[in-house]
A and B are shown apart, each in its own frame.
Chain A
Amino acid sequence: MFGWEFPPHIAGGLGTACEGIVKGLAYNGVETLFVMPSASGDEDQSATTIINASDVAVDTVSTSISEYLDKVKFIHIGTNMVPYVNPDEFETLVEEERKRQVQDFKINYGVKYKFSGKYGSNLMEEVARYAMVGGTIALQHKDEFDVIHAHDWLTYMAGIAAKELTGKPLVVHMHATSYDRGDENHIDTRVLDIETRGMLAADRVVTVSDLTRNIVINKYHIDPAKVVTVHNAVDFSGRENITVERGVKDKVVTFLGRITFQKGPEYFIEAAAKVLKRTENVRFVMAGSGDMMNRCIRHVARLGISDRFHFTGFLRGKDVQKMFALSDVYIMPSVSEPFGISPLEAMRSNVPSIISHQSGAAEILKYAFKVDFWDVDALADDIYALLSYPALAKFSEQNGFEEVNALKWNGATAKLKTVYESVIK
C-alpha cells in the first residue's frame, strides 16, 4: 500500500483515512505493508508494517538502469515545454533528455533520498522520486504481497511502477479529484494527467463516494465496470468528547475546514447574514485557513456583521475538538466534496450538521440536514430552525451521534477486501 502520510504527522485527512483503512483491513484479516515517503518512527504499527521510502536506496545492481527506465520511463515528469522547434531539433532534445535522465538516475537514485513527505514546492519531484523508490521497494518485497493499493495521485506513479515491475494487480484509491480542488478552468493539468494515468493503469479504481465515482466516470472517462465506491468511515475509538466552558451565551454556528472555493465558505457567510437579520443571539465562526480567507474577511466586513462573525485561523489538535464542543450547529456547504469527514466528527461531538448535497457524506448520513450548496435561503432556514426549535436540535443530535458511531472502517474495509479478491487471479 502506497500512502503519502500516516498519523501522527499529518497535514490533511488522507493520513487519517489510511490509518483507518489498514486497521480495518487487519480486522478483516488482510495484512498490509504501508509505504510512505517520510516516516518518523512514531507511527502506530500495530495494524501494518511501515516502510520508510527515505531509508531505501534504488537498487541499481539487480536492474539495469535502462531496463528500469524503459519500464518506468513515463515517470519522468517532463517540464521541457520548448516552443517552436522543428522535428530534427525535437529529436535531438529528446535524445539529450534521455541521456540526462540516465545520468540523473545514476547520480540521484542510487543513493537514499530524503523525502520531505510534505506538500511543498518540489512536490512533483518528490512524486517522481517516490515512484522510483516505490518500484524498488515493490521488487524487494515481491513475494510478500498480492495487490498494490495506491492512495491519491501522489502515490499513483509509485503504484504504476510497482505494477510494471512486479506484474501484480493495482488498485488506486480516489480520495479526491482535481475537479474538487478548483473550478474547471483552474486545474493543474500535471495532477490531472497523473490521476488519469493511474486510473487507466489500475485494475480497479476505488472512490470514496458515488459523487466521486461519477466524476471518475464522466470527467476522466474511466470504464464504469472497474470503478467501485467504498464510503469512508471514521475511527472514534479512544476518543472522549470534551466539555468546554462557554464564554459566550449565544448559540454558535461553525464552519470548519480549508477556506477554499471547493468548501463553499461564501455561502456560509451569506446564510449567516440572513440568519443575523432574523435573530440576535447567534455567532458564526469560520475556523480554518485557505486562499479564500482574506476575501471572506472582506465579505464579512462589507456585510457589516463582523462583530457576530469570527475567524479563528487554522486550528490544531485539541482546538478542533474544542471548537466542536463550543458549537450548536455545524455547516459544510461544500461545492464539491468527495466525502467530507468533518460532519461526522461534528455529529460525534453531538453537534447537528447541515451539509450540501454536493458532498459524498450526504450519500450515507441520514440524520444530517442536506441542502444544495447554492441554496443560501434553505441553509439559513435550517440554521434558524436548529437554533430556534430545541426539539429538532435534540432529535438530530441524538440520532446523528448514533448514526456516526455505527460507521466503522471494519465494514468499509470488508468491501475493500472483496475488491482485492476480485483482482487476484
Chain B
Amino acid sequence: MKKSICFYFQVHQPTRLRLYRFFDIGKDSHYYDDFTDRTIMKRIAQKCYLPMNALLLEQIKATKGAFKVAFSISGTALEQFDRYAPEVIDSFRALAETGSVEFLSETYYHSLAALNSPAEFKHQVLKHKEAIEKYFGVTPKSFRNTELIYSDNIGKMVFDMGFKTMLTEGARHIMGWRSPNYLYSCDLQPKLKLMMRNYALSDDIAFRFSDQSWEGWPLTTERFAEWAKAAEGDVLNLFMDYETFGEHQAAETGIFEFMKALPSALLKDGNFDFVTPAQASRKYKPVEELSVPEPISWADEERDVTAWLGNELQQDAYNKVYSLTEKLSLLNDEYLWEDFGRLQESDHFYYMCTKFFSDGEIHKRFNPYDTPYEAFINYMNVLSDFIIRVDNALAERK
C-alpha cells in the first residue's frame, strides 16, 4: 500500500495592539494598530499567500487533483484578508473549488479558549465554521486547535462538537517509542482520531530548509523522498505555518522551486499518495489510544503551553481576560464581543513570553514588542479599558 502524505498549512495573522497608554484608559477604546496589520498583511500577501496559492493551484491542476493539501485559516486572518488583501480570499476560493483542498476548523480568534472555557471555545469554533462556510462554501470536518494544543479533555470537547478527526503534535514526551506516522485515538473518546505531526520531516522544510550548516542542506526533492520512504507508517503528517513559504524561508532560498517540484516527484516515485486529514481519517484505522493528560502543542522544545502561559505575567493576563467570560455572557453587544475575542488571541500572551534563551529566536521573530514586559503593560492597559466598558454595559443593563 502506498504511504500517504498529508500537508496542512496554518494561516494566521494576529490583531496587533497599538501603543496603548495609561492615559488612554477610559478615553479611547480603539485598541488596534491597523496600520501595522495592513502593512504586514500586504507584504505577506505579496511574498507568500498569493505566489504560494498560485503554485499550489498549478500543481493540483498539473497532477489532476492527486496533490492535496489542507489549510486552517484563523478568523482574524480572514478578516484581514477581507480588509487589506481581498485577492487572497479569491485565490483560496480557487483552491477550494479544485476539491483537493480541505479547510480545517479552529477557534476564530486563534485563542487559548480550549484551556479555559468550554462555552467560549465552542462559541469561537462555531463562529469560525460560519466564516469558512461564508467564504469558501465548505463546512470544516476536521479540527485543529490553536498551535495544535491538545489534551484528552480537549479531544473530548472536540468530538462532542461533532468532529471525528483532530490534528496535534507528535510530541516526543507523549509518543515515546511510538511513531507519529499512524493514526491514534483519544483516550477519553476513542472515536476521535488523532493525526500526529511528524515534526522531524515538517521542520526539515519549515525551519531547516535554508540552514546551510545543516547536513541535509541543500534539500532536494529526491533527498526528501528518500527520507519519506525511510519513515515507517501509514501517513506522514507535514504540518507547518503557511508563512514558511516566502516569509520565514525567503524566495531566494529556493523554497518555491522545491514545493513546485515536490508533488510530482513524490507521485512519480510511485510509493506515495496525498491525502487531506478527512481522507486520512477514512482511509486508516487508529493503532492505539493515546493518553495526553496535560496539554501539548507544537511550540518550542517543551511542546507544551508554556510559550503562552509559562510565566506570571502571562498567567495573570490570561486569568484576567477569561475572568470576564461570565460577564460577557450577560451582554449582547457585538463590539464588546469582538474586542473580547481579539483580546483572547494567543499571540498577545506569546509576546509576554520570557523564554528567551531556548527558543528566543523564534519568539523574537514574531514579536512587535521590545520586551515581554512592554507587551504585558500594553495588554493590561487595553484590558483595563475593556473591563471598564464591560462593567459600564452591565450597569446600564440593570
Contacts and interface: CB of A to CB of B under 8 A. Distances in A.
**A and B: bona fide binding partners:** yes
Interface of A: 245-249, 283, 285, 287, 293-294, 297-298, 300-302, 304, 306-308, 310-313, 319, 322, 326
A306 B26 contact: no
A293 B22 contact: no
B355 to A, nearest CB: 14
Interface of B: 21-28, 311-313, 315-317, 319-320, 371, 373-374, 376-377, 380-381, 383-385, 387-388
A313 B383 CA distance: 17
15 contacts: A246-B26, A247-B23, A247-B25, A247-B26, A297-B373, A301-B313, A301-B316, A302-B316, A304-B316, A306-B376, A307-B383, A310-B22, A310-B384, A313-B374, A326-B23
A246 B380 CA distance: 18
Contact of A298 (B28, B311, B317, B385): B311
A297 B383 contact: no
Contacts of A294: 371, 373
B103 to A, nearest CB: 37
Given A246-B26, A302-B316, A319-B23, 5 more contacts: A247-B385, A248-B25, A301-B311, A306-B320, A312-B22
Contact of A304 (B21, B319, B377, B387): B319
Given A304-B316, A307-B387, A310-B381, A248 B26 contact: yes
Contact of B388 (A248, A304, A310, A313): A248
A262 B292 CA distance: 49
A322 B320 contact: no
Given A297-B376, A298-B311, A306-B320, A247 B21 contact: no
Contacts of A306: 313, 316-317, 320, 376, 380
A313 B377 contact: yes
Contacts of B384: 283, 307-308, 310
Contacts of A302: 312, 316
Contacts of A322: 23
A298 B383 contact: no
Nearest to B313: A301
Contacts of B316: 300-302, 304, 306
A305 to B, nearest CB: 8
Nearest to A326: B23
Nearest to B352: A301
B367 to A, nearest CB: 16
Contacts of B313: 297-298, 301, 306
Nearest to A311: B377
In the A-B complex, list the 6 residue pairs whose CB atoms are closest, starting with the nearest: A247-B26, A247-B27, A301-B316, A248-B26, A301-B312, A310-B22
Nearest to B381: A310
B25 to A, nearest CB: 5
A56 B380 CA distance: 51
Contacts of B317: 301, 306
Contacts of A300: 316
A302 B319 CA distance: 11
Contacts of A298: 311-313
A283 B26 CA distance: 12
A297 B377 contact: yes
Nearest to B324: A307
Contacts of B320: 304, 306-307
A108 B331 CA distance: 73
Nearest to A305: B316
Nearest to B24: A247
A256 to B, nearest CB: 12
Contacts of B374: 313
**Which among B27, B315, B380 has the highest number of chain A CB atoms within 10 Å?**
B380
Contacts of B315: 301
A248 B391 CA distance: 12
Contacts of A287: 22
A287 B377 CA distance: 12
Contacts of B24: 247
Contacts of B311: 298, 301
B377 to A, nearest CB: 5
A247 B311 CA distance: 30
A247 B388 CA distance: 10
A215 B187 CA distance: 69
A285 B387 contact: no
A341 B368 CA distance: 36
